[in-house]
C-alpha cells in the first residue's frame, strides 16, 4: 500500500489520486480505499467533498449520491469505528482515469493554498472526542444536500465546509476546524432558510 495511507495534507491526497489514475484505466472507490487505507476516513471524505465542489457537483442527483457516501463514512467515524466499511455498490463506482487526472491537476493549485493555511494549531479542537463531534456535523451537512441540490450549485457550500473540516482533522488544526464549523453552520442555516421560505 502506498505511503498515502498516512496522508496528512491535501497535496499528499492529490498525489495519491494521481498515482491511482496512472495505474488504472478507471478509478473506483475501492481503488482509493486500497491507496489510502481503510482507516483514512478524513482523506476519503476530503476527496469526495472536493469532487462535490467542482462543476460535477452541479449535475442533478450527484450531490445527493456523494453526500450519502460521505455520510456513511462520517457516521462510522462518529461512532468510533476503526476500519472503514462501504457497501459494494458504492466501492464499485468509479470514474475514467483521464477525467480524474484533469481534476487532480486543478486540485494541485487548490492544495498548495490550503496546505499553507493549515498548520496544526489548537490541536485539542481537532483531535480526540472533538473529531467524533465534527464527524456528526459532517453527517448533518450531508442531510442538507438533497434540499440544496434543488438550487443550482448551492450544494457547493456544504461540500466546501466538509472539505475544510476533513482537512482540519487530517492536520489536527483547530483554527481551521473553527473556520470549517462556521462555514458548516452557515450552509445549514441557508438550507433551513431556503426550505422554510
In angstroms and rounded to an integer, the radius of gyration of the C-alpha atoms of the chain is: 16
Place of cell 464499485: 92
Please name which of 24, 22, 68, 79 lies closest in space to residue 45, comparing C-alpha atoms.
Answer: 68
pLDDT digits (tens, 9 = 90+) for 143-163: 888 877 777 667 788 888 898
Place of cell 442555516: 189
**Residue 65 pLDDT:** 84
pLDDT digits (tens, 9 = 90+) for 51-71: 787 766 667 777 888 888 899
| Cα–Cα dist 135/36, whole Å | 19
Grid coordinates representing 116?
Answer: 499553507
* Series of mean pLDDT values for 10-residue runs along the chain (197 residues): 53 75 77 74 85 72 85 90 79 71 66 68 69 87 80 78 86 80 79 68
Q: Against a cut of 0.85, is the pTM above it?
A: no
**Residue 74 pLDDT:** 92
Strands (E), the chain: 26-28, 94-96
Domain ranges of the chain: 3-196
Q: Is 69 exposed, middle or buried (0-12, 13-18, 19+ CB in 10 A)?
A: buried
Greatest CA separation for the chain: 49
Amino acid at each position: 500500500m502506498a505511503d498515502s495511507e498516512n496522508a496528512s495534507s491535501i497535496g499528499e491526497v492529490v498525489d495519491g489520486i494521481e498515482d491511482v489514475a496512472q495505474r488504472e484505466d478507471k478509478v473506483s472507490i475501492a481503488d482509493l480505499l486500497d491507496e489510502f487505507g481503510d482507516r483514512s476516513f478524513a482523506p476519503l471524505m476530503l476527496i469526495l467533498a472536493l469532487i462535490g465542489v467542482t462543476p460535477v457537483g452541479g449535475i442533478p442527483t450527484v450531490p445527493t449520491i456523494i453526500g450519502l457516501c460521505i455520510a456513511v463514512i462520517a457516521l462510522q467515524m462518529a461512532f468510533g469505528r476503526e476500519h472503514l466499511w462501504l457497501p459494494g455498490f458504492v466501492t464499485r463506482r468509479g470514474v475514467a482515469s483521464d477525467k480524474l487526472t484533469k481534476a487532480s491537476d486543478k486540485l494541485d493549485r487548490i492544495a498548495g493554498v490550503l496546505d499553507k493555511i493549515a498548520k496544526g494549531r489548537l490541536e485539542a479542537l481537532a483531535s480526540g472526542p472533538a473529531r467524533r463531534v465534527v464527524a456528526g456535523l459532517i453527517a448533518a451537512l450531508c442531510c442538507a444536500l438533497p434540499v440544496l441540490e434543488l438550487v443550482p450549485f448551492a450544494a457547493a457550500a456544504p461540500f466546501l465546509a466538509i472539505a475544510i473540516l476533513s482537512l482540519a482533522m487530517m492536520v489536527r488544526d483547530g483554527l481551521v476546524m473553527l473556520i470549517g464549523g462556521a462555514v458548516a453552520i452557515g450552509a445549514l442555516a441557508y438550507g433551513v432558510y431556503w426550505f422554510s421560505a
